[in-house]
Structure 1
C-alpha cells in the first residue's frame, strides 16, 4: 500500500527518492520516538539491509511487471477477437485491463525509484509525484482487481446454485454494467486524493533546480476526508472483496466435487444399465449439480483464477491488517523500513496473478487457445516445420 499520511515533513513511502531534506537518501530514525522501540526496529531491519533488499525487490518487481504487461496485452487482444457475446468474456477482459494498468503503474513507480537510486536527476519530486501518479493508483487498482475477481466468483456461484433465476441477469449488458459500477466505486474514487494534494513547482537546493512537487491542502475537511477515504477505500474495500472471493471460491470447489460425484454415478449407472433416475435419493443429494460440460469448464477456470488471486493477495491482507492494528507500522512510524519492504513484496502478488491468468485461459479454454495460437502464429510455424 502506498498511502499518504496526514503527517507532513517526514520521510515518504519512497525513502530513496525522498528530497524533503535535500538528500535522496534521508531515511533516518525519528529520535522523538521511544529509544527502546527504535532499537527494536533497527534490529528487525538495519539501514544496510534495507538498502540491499529494497533495490533487489524493485528489480524483481520490474521483471514481473513487464511479464504482466505482455501477458495481459495478449489476453485483451484475444478476447477482442473472440468478441463479447459471452458475459464471461466481458468480465475477464475487464480483469485483464485492470491487471495491465496496475502493472503499468507499478512499472512507472519502480522506474522513478531506480532512476533516483542511481542518481539520475528527475524534473519532479520522485517520492511525492510518483506516489500520486503511480503508487496510489496501484493501491486502488488492486482493490478494483479484487472486486472484479469477487464478482466473477460470485456470478459463477449464483449460476450454479440458482441458475434459473440468475441467468436472465447474467447477460452481456448486465455484466458490462456491473464492471462499470465496480470501476466507479473502487478505482475512480482514487482521484479524490487530489483534494488533499496539489502540484506546485519548487526550488530544490540539493539538486539546484526547480522541480515539480506536491503540497498538502491543510484544511480540516481535506484532512478528515483523507482519513475516512483511506480507511474505507484503502483497507475495508479490498479486505471485503477478498473475503467474498474466498467464500465463493470455496462454494465453487464444493459444488465441483458434487458435479464430479454426480457424473461418476451416472457413468456407473450406465455401465450397470440402470437409469440414474431410479435412485432418487442419490439424485436429490446433488440437485443443481447437473450442468453442461461447457459450464463446468468455465467454473473450473473461474476457480483457478480466483485461487491464484487469493493466494497472491493473502500477504496484502496480512499487511493491511497490520497497518490497521499496529500504530507504528506505516511509512512514518518506527517500523517504516519494514513497512516499505513489506509493501514492495506484497505488490509482487497481483502482477504474478495477472501474468498467470493467460496460462489458465490457454489450458482450459479451447476457443482462447485457438485464437491465441493464430495471433502469435504458432499454428503457422508448426505447419512450416511439417
Structure 2
C-alpha cells in the first residue's frame, strides 16, 4: 500500500495502489510517528475486527441502498402523478429525490470499497477517489435531507398552530423556492472540500503506471477554511435542523393529542343533536370534525417521518462533533479506521429513514396509496383475482 523511504530515523510513506499488496487495507491502518498513539489507535480496532465490521457494513448498507433506490423511485413517480398543487407534495418529492441520490452515492462508495478489498486493479485509488466523488457529497446531502425534514415539520406545525396566517404564505411556489434555497445553502458548500483536498496523478512503481489519487492541501488557509466550513456547514447546520425537527415533532405530538380530544368532544356533542339534514349547525360541526381528522392523519404522517429521521440522524451528529473536536479523526489521521467505519455505519443507517418513508406514505396517505396501487397495478391484479373467483 505504501512505498517506504527511510532517511535516518524518519520514515516516509508514499501512498501506492492497495491492489498490489498482501494487505489491501494497509492504507487504512493507523499511522503516526508517535508509537503510543499508534498503540492506542490500534487497540480500538484490530485487523480482524476491522475487516469483519467493514464487510458486514458494506453488504448491509447495499441491501438498504437497493431498497431505498426502488422505494424512492416509486415515491417520485407517485408524487409526479399526484401533481404539485399541494405544497406538501413538493417538499416530499424533494425529500425523495435527495434520499434517492444519497443511495446512489452510497452505492458507488460501497463499490469502490469492495473493489479495494478484492484488490481490483484500477487506474485510480478507489477508496480515496470515492471520498471526494461521493463521500463528501453524501455527507452534505444528508444535511439537505435534515433541513427538508425540518421544513416539513415546521410547515405542518405552523399550519396546525396558526392555520389562517400560514396558509397564505406556504404556497406551491413558495415551497419550491424554499427547496432551492435549502439545496443552495446545504449541498453546494460541499464543493468547498476541493480547497482542502485535491486530485493528483501519482506514479505507482508496482503497476509501473500513473494512477489518480487524492492528497490533502496542507496550507494554513486550506486547513483553516476546512475547519470553518465543517463547523458551519457540517456541524452547526445539521444540529440546527435536527433541533428544529425535534422541537416541531414534540409540538406536533402535543397538538395531535389536542386535536384527538377535540374530535372526541365534537363527535359526542354531535350525537346529542338532531340529525344532520334537519340541523345545518350539525352539518357544519360534522364538516369540521372531518377536516380535523384529515389534518390528524397528515400530522401523524409528518410525526412518523420526523421521528424516524431523528433516530437515524442522531449518530451522524455525534460523528460530526467528533470530526471537529478530534484533529486525528479524519481520512488521513491517526483514527482513520474509526473514521471509515463510522462513516460506513451512518451511510448504512441514515438511508434507512428514506427507505421506510414509502411505507409511511402508503399507510397514512389515502391519495398516495390510491395512485401507488394504480401505478404498480395492484388494483388490476386484485380485480382479476376477484373475477377468477
Answer whether TM exceeds 0.5 for this pair: yes
Question: Which residues of structure 2 form unaligned runs of 5+?
Answer: 1-11, 275-287
Distance, in Å, in 1 between the alignment partners of 2:189 and 2:289 is: 40
Alignment correspondent of 1:139: 139
Alignment correspondent of 1:160: 160
Confirm or deny: 8 A CA contact 1:64 1:352 kept in the other structure.
yes
Distance, in Å, in 2 between the alignment partners of 1:343 and 1:128 is: 13
CA drift at 1:19:
8.0
Confirm or deny: 8 A CA contact 2:200 2:212 kept in the other structure.
yes
CA drift at 1:181:
0.2
The alpha-carbon distance between structure 1 residues 20 and 200, as it changes in their structure 2 partners (threshold 3 A), is: farther
Confirm or deny: 8 A CA contact 1:149 1:306 kept in the other structure.
yes
The alpha-carbon distance between structure 1 residues 186 and 19, as it changes in their structure 2 partners (threshold 3 A), is: farther
Alignment correspondent of 1:178: 178
* 373-382 vs 91-100, greater mean Cα deviation: 373-382
SS in 2 for 1:120: coil
Q: Deviations over 1:171-190 (max 9, x none)?
A: 00000000000000000111
- Tell me which structure has the larger Cα radius of gyration: 2
Distance, in Å, in 1 between the alignment partners of 2:216 and 2:333 is: 19
CA drift at 1:210:
2.1
The alpha-carbon distance between structure 1 residues 220 and 43, as it changes in their structure 2 partners (threshold 3 A), is: closer
Confirm or deny: 8 A CA contact 1:316 1:346 kept in the other structure.
yes
Q: Deviations over 1:5-24 (max 9, x none)?
A: xxxx9899xxx986899974
Confirm or deny: 8 A CA contact 2:150 2:245 kept in the other structure.
yes
SS in 1 for 2:350: helix
SS in 2 for 1:167: helix
Alignment correspondent of 1:381: 381
Alignment correspondent of 2:113: 113
The alpha-carbon distance between structure 1 residues 31 and 21, as it changes in their structure 2 partners (threshold 3 A), is: farther
Distance, in Å, in 1 between the alignment partners of 2:231 and 2:13 is: 21
SS in 2 for 1:32: coil
The alpha-carbon distance between structure 1 residues 325 and 191, as it changes in their structure 2 partners (threshold 3 A), is: closer
Alignment correspondent of 1:257: 257
CA drift at 1:252:
0.4
Alignment correspondent of 1:361: 361
The alpha-carbon distance between structure 1 residues 18 and 268, as it changes in their structure 2 partners (threshold 3 A), is: farther
Q: Write out aligned runs for 1:40-51 (5 A).
A: 40-51=40-51
The alpha-carbon distance between structure 1 residues 129 and 289, as it changes in their structure 2 partners (threshold 3 A), is: farther
Distance, in Å, in 1 between the alignment partners of 2:78 and 2:17 is: 39
* 145-154 vs 298-307, greater mean Cα deviation: 298-307
CA drift at 1:258:
0.6
Confirm or deny: 8 A CA contact 1:17 1:117 kept in the other structure.
no
CA drift at 1:64:
0.6
* 204-213 vs 360-369, greater mean Cα deviation: 204-213
CA drift at 1:290:
10
Alignment correspondent of 1:318: 318
Confirm or deny: 8 A CA contact 2:87 2:175 kept in the other structure.
yes
Alignment correspondent of 2:282: none
SS in 1 for 2:169: coil
The alpha-carbon distance between structure 1 residues 161 and 80, as it changes in their structure 2 partners (threshold 3 A), is: same
Question: Which residues of structure 1 form unaligned runs of 5+?
Answer: 1-8, 275-287
CA drift at 1:289:
11
Distance, in Å, in 1 between the alignment partners of 2:246 and 2:17 is: 37
In the alignment, is residue 125 of structure 1 matched against residue 125 of structure 2? yes
RMSD after superposition: 2.7
The alpha-carbon distance between structure 1 residues 260 and 183, as it changes in their structure 2 partners (threshold 3 A), is: same
Alignment correspondent of 1:54: 54
Distance, in Å, in 1 between the alignment partners of 2:315 and 2:92 is: 24
The alpha-carbon distance between structure 1 residues 233 and 22, as it changes in their structure 2 partners (threshold 3 A), is: farther
Confirm or deny: 8 A CA contact 1:18 1:126 kept in the other structure.
no
